[in-house]
Amino acid sequence: MKIFPQKILFLNPPSVKPVFRDCYCSGYSKGTFCVHPLDLQIQSGFFSTEKFQVEFIDSVFENLDIEKTIKKIQSFHPDIIIALIGELFMEKDSAFFNHLKNIFPSVRLFFSGDIARFHPKKIFQDIPKTEGVLLDFASPGILEHLYGKKSPYLLTYKSHHVFHTPRMKSYQYPLPRKEFIRKYSYSLPFFHDPHYYSIGTSFGCPNTCHYCNTHLLGYTLRPIKDIIEELHLAARLGFKSLYIRAATFMADQSRTFQLFDKWKQSKLKFEWICFTRPDLLNEELVARAAATGCCLMMLGVESFDEKWLNHMSRPMPLNTIFNAFRLLKKYKIRSAAQIMVGMSYKYQNIDIYEKKLSVFLKDLDPDYVSFNIFSNRPGIEYNDPSFNQIELNEDLYKNLAIRLERHFYFHPHNIMKQMYHLKSPKKLLILINTILNLIKSKGIY
Ligand code: SF4
């Protein structure tokens, strides 16, 4: 076997539709939005010595089909492939990787993704020539394995029969490789400069919503000094926009204030966006987020039925939700409401539900809305009648999501809001693509 240097390819495999498979979650991307595959970005940092020659192919971002992806792989001729794999696309992903292994029999295959974390045995079953499955994307599991060491974070064919998934003690990893960051221009329309940098600040979630598997990962914070160091890297690379990749940013208020203090001391300036929960927001937090450059918060609203929210271990009075959106407006931070379509015990009739949700959204008045359809996440065994209702009528709810999305974004009030924020040709282009995507969607995606 060849020792060093080794050629490592980080690969987000092809897909007919835009998808994501990172951060232990797989699904279809909204509109034309593409985000950095964070697992691969973080892993790239472990291979920063001259012993490794690195290449990155994001077939989803480049819209490469299987044939074109294979051609690109051929021209790099890797020794090792570290790839993303998604539970939702397992059939197609495994067919692709088995095909790949036939073409490149000597290549060593490693995987990260939701299925890798929650059902790693399935990968060895469906892609038998897999060399290793990474249980923790912020761990040096693959690197240690390549140096012949045993790692609790990497399952191999030999070790996969008996294992337990280790809980991370710390969310610490080296800075990513610059070539990785520079390779593609991921863009989002929320910033003045749409070209943005993705940064991790915490892993997992301290909350325990029954439908979500993120809390099964535990909750670990990244050291503030590491975050600031990476902010310096982003600034050196010329980024002005930042996507904070944490499932629930600001879950710990005092720690968030410490981060904001250090950020301020560093004099680094970014526009930034994040995901968080309405019940975490208060005036001081929102004011300080705005002062640090926050331009958008994506808030998990999910339902307007308090009983359903309580039942899901997500107690959230509606006035708390309204208050959070009011605060964002006051401090000129745009808001995006995440809604899980159909989640209500009170309104089972889909037409009545649609009307009630429309009224709720009109009152809430977010700048953006994302309508999501429930799907059973790997690792989750909890069941509820509301989940069954969606699963039994999936097409109906998918069509409803598209109707609601069109209704929201084509409403004159919201068109005016979007126009107000359109201040660059790049943003206009992204918006046109998004609109075309909305028009093209035929109902079922
Ligand atoms: S707050 Fe969000 S990330 Fe955390 S468990 Fe609930 S749904 Fe999942």
CA distances from 132 to 48, 118, 198 (A): 20, 14, 26
With CA atoms as reference, report the closest residue to 302 among 209, 390, 384, 378: 209
| Per-residue pLDDT at 253 exceeds 90 | yes
Query: Once rounded to an integer, what is the mean pLDDT over residues 54-65?
Result: 96
Task: Ligand 1, residue 314: give the atom nearest the CA.
Answer: 6
Using an 8 Å Cβ cutoff, are 404 and 398 in contact?
no
| Per-residue pLDDT at 299 exceeds 50 | yes
Instruction: Give the integer Cα–Cα distance in Å for 192 and 434.
Output: 17
Find the 206 Cα to ligand 1 centroid distance in Å.
8
Task: Ligand 1, residue 206: give the atom nearest the CA.
Answer: 4
Q: What is the pLDDT of residue 170?
A: 81
Find the 213 Cα to ligand 1 centroid distance in Å.
8
Q: Which of 114, 207, 210 to mutate to test the pocket of ligand 1 (most atoms within 8 A of CB)?
A: 207
Tokens of 414: 């919201």
DSSP-based three-state secondary structure for 340: strand
Using an 8 Å Cβ cutoff, are 227 and 242 in contact?
no
Q: Which of 25, 212, 252, 301 to mutate to test the pocket of ligand 1 (most atoms within 8 A of CB)?
A: 212
Instruction: Give the integer Cα–Cα distance in Å for 184 and 10.
Output: 13
| Per-residue pLDDT at 306 exceeds 70 | yes
Using an 8 Å Cβ cutoff, are 174 and 46 in contact?
yes
Q: State in Å, rounded, how far the first CA of the chain is from the last one.
A: 45
Find the 214 Cα to ligand 1 centroid distance in Å.
6
Find the 211 Cα to ligand 1 centroid distance in Å.
8
Give me the domains of the chain, ranges plus CATH numbers: 6-156 (3.40.50.280), 187-440 (3.80.30.20)
- Grade residue 444 by pLDDT with cuts at 50, 70 and 90: very low
With CA atoms as reference, report the closest residue to 340 among 152, 218, 212, 429: 212
Query: Once rounded to an integer, what is the mean pLDDT over residues 263-285?
Result: 97
Lowest mean pLDDT among 39-48, 155-164, 250-259, 325-334: 155-164
| Per-residue pLDDT at 258 exceeds 60 | yes
Query: Once rounded to an integer, what is the mean pLDDT over residues 66-80?
Result: 97
- Grade residue 415 by pLDDT with cuts at 50, 70 and 90: confident
Q: How much of the chain exceeds pLDDT 70, in percent?
A: 93
Around ligand 1, the residues with Cβ closer than 6 Å are 205, 207, 209, 212, 214-215, 247-248, 277, 300
Instruction: Dump pLDDT digits (tens) for 228-250.
Output: 999 999 999 999 999 999 999 99
Q: What is the pLDDT of residue 441?
A: 45
Who has greater pLDDT, 169 or 217? 217
Query: Once rounded to an integer, what is the mean pLDDT over residues 250-277?
Result: 97
Task: Ligand 1, residue 212: give the atom nearest the CA.
Answer: 8
Residue nearest (by alpha carbon) to ligand 1 atom 6: 209
Tokens of 284: 């001081």
Query: Once rounded to an integer, what is the mean pLDDT over residues 392-414?
Result: 90
Task: Ligand 1, residue 277: give the atom nearest the CA.
Answer: 1
- Grade residue 335 by pLDDT with cuts at 50, 70 and 90: very high
- Grade residue 418 by pLDDT with cuts at 50, 70 and 90: confident
User: Is the ipTM of this structure higher than 0.90?
Assistant: yes
Using an 8 Å Cβ cutoff, are 274 and 249 in contact?
yes
Residue nearest (by alpha carbon) to ligand 1 atom 8: 212
Longest CA–CA separation in the chain, Å = 65
| Per-residue pLDDT at 309 exceeds 80 | yes
Find the 284 Cα to ligand 1 centroid distance in Å.
23
- Grade residue 417 by pLDDT with cuts at 50, 70 and 90: confident
Instruction: Give the integer Cα–Cα distance in Å for 297 and 333.
Output: 7
Instruction: Dump pLDDT digits (tens) for 85-140.
Output: 999 999 999 999 999 999 999 999 999 999 999 999 999 999 999 999 999 999 99
CA distances from 11 to 53, 64, 83, 430 (A): 14, 12, 5, 25
Find the 71 Cα to ligand 1 centroid distance in Å.
40
Query: Once rounded to an integer, what is the mean pLDDT over residues 405-415?
Result: 85
Q: What is the mean pLDDT of the chain?
A: 91
Q: Which of 202, 214, 310, 376 to mutate to test the pocket of ligand 1 (most atoms within 8 A of CB)?
A: 214
